[in-house]
Chain A
């Protein structure tokens, strides 16, 4: 009887299993296999097994790799921090009672649901060094006398990219935090007030600790999605000027689909996966330890 029940369960699971095997597991192992070959679509020869050569190339020879790796960390952690810096205050505001709260809760999602390419075009127009709205506004207020080349200046470009990324991603954090805030019982605040906690102390000792589960989950999701987020940078700067804003995601794309070096692209993808896996594990263990 039990066996039959399991059989039905397995039948229902089968489509998902087939999908996962076909579209997740197989490509993953095929990618690992390719990373040990010199497959190039321009070579005209059959790919040869070359061992760790591709990995050695990036880790030891390629002078750009470590710059790009550092860029990736800046991109991911900078974006996530900004998203939280905007998301938590927004959630606190939206958790208050005011007349048009429902409307604002809906409106805040606009950047998040907008297609990335549209967001990129909007920000490109804002930051454009020749015709950009930001330069126009700054000049109108006599804050600058000559246009600033926001996306062409290695010092400014990261500020612009992180701002665009934070704008796109903060609604997700805000909504998650809002859900977390709504799950905190009012009695906890009342008890804290009785104990003399007011203002920032309430936030520091009640809200923030009780939000931790929501921060943990949304933080992990934000790290992983930003790690692989590629379209925003590609549309705004294509990784330039030079390689100043290249990240591992754009570098994988360039190696695989601009230079057609599939072997090298695959090895970069493996390296990227390993690093993000390591960061996620470290993150999970740290949070877990702090909860214990």
Chain B
């Protein structure tokens, strides 16, 4: 241990200021992870006995069912879509290719309450059924939206793009020759799909499914609104309802066990998919399908996007622009501004930190720096509620100590300067969204030729001058798209914001969730549709990137 620490310090100071930065920033961002991790080891049997006797079995079964159900649903939807779109050329394919990703712009909690409004007893559909068939309230059976299965279906509808994106790339990389081999052997297309195409794409599909399951485990808004007790709602209630931070962090640690299994699945599948990718030869050619069959495929492919985006979007738009009254427009600018401010600051901080991490790695590609980069990229897998608790514990401790200190020295108490301010929020966002930014900065910086650095070095630049004069200008596009992605992610983020926001500080997401929870669905539509509309921007970027990848292998 001592040797390890010594080596760490020695390595850190052998490198430049950037290496030191990445160690310190890595430790800072890693802190909440350690807090959760170690709280799990400071096992409190009294808490666990109580939890096990009351809520824990429900949490475990609901969370697992939710994750598995969403994983399965997203896999079926995403894989089928990807297969049809890669292999068949039908009328409207380009439109579908673009639209299929739109559900990414729809946060699960927003689709949840939109469908609740549409499908519950007083909603338009049930009213229509009753009116048409002249039925009473007890005369017919209608599935309950606000249930575990409802949550699974709705989340699958917005999370299938995770599987779709990876499966589509995997399918389109499969060589045309494989299909020709099957045709020569007289194997039917369906059999070819199950015998060849699907097994080859399996690692990619698994990666996507793992990501969708992480999102499902992380979800708070949907399950809370539907009254389904899972770990995230449990953590939230333990902290907000009972103020029991210790139990909340122990629950968080337990949830992390599931998350780590998913991370392992994801990492292993990613590694496998590299072995499975067959980039030699011409990629699969789409088969032309005309007439009825073409139209059928078009309709089939448009179903997920219709239910996952178009129907809820139209409903939200109707509510927002036709029904909402002007009185609640008064607060709208305030929380829109709060959201914009929070997302801007957060995006700039996160992207700047990611850039420095990537640059430190480029300057001194040591194991230390790479290790910390991997550590801080773990946040994407952690639920917002867990990160919030992880942030709250050390910052709360810091605030208490600070207040004691200033009280002794200056007879003055500054209050919760860390845990009760925007600082805590930005801290949590930095952990949750660092990997989004890092993906962009890492890919961007790898595209800059090493000779650029050497040229700048022989011409007398210091590392920081080089960053300002060469890397930042050349990375402009990557930095911009990273900023946009993080901006939108923060705008949509609900659970961490809900837990960590300063008193009386509302954002679009928080307001949408609160109004919906108060059954004011129509009032919630305006903030919701704002989030969805802004969320379409990164979908456009993603579509362009995907097309670029596909053209490369065409």
A and B associate: no
Q: Which residues of B line the A interface, CB within 8 A?
A: none
Footprint of B on A, CB under 8 Å?
none
